[in-house]
Amino acid sequence: MESLIERIKLSQTVKEQLLKLKRSTKIDQLNILCWWAFCRSLAEIAAPSPVRIPQDSNVEMKWRVFGGEISDILLLALKQRFYNDG
């Protein structure tokens, strides 16, 4: 499946939160922690805030790196969320 999302760049706040989670969970790969955060955000009932989040950290990854072997599934879940939110 062709993704319209090429790259994901994180805010400095999110980077710091991920590094804290990485230390406490001993999960080495940030993309796995990002999967969990992504899926958790999709499970929220309320629509995401329209406030733009700064992309001011040096953490950036391609969608295929972020999603790995489940990148197509994550993209479908995101599209479904868009559809559900109208």
Q: Where are the domains of the chain?
A: 7-43+53-85
Residue with tokens 């590094």: 19
Share of the chain above pLDDT 70, in %: 97
Q: Helical H runs in 1-86?
A: 12-25, 30-43, 63-67, 71-85
The string of pLDDT tens digits covering residues 63-83 is: 988 888 899 999 999 999 989
Its pTM stands at 0.78
The pLDDT-based confidence of 42 (bands split at 50, 70, 90) is very high
Dihedral sign of CA atoms 62, 66, 72, 75 in order: negative
Neighbours of 80 (CB within 10 A): 11
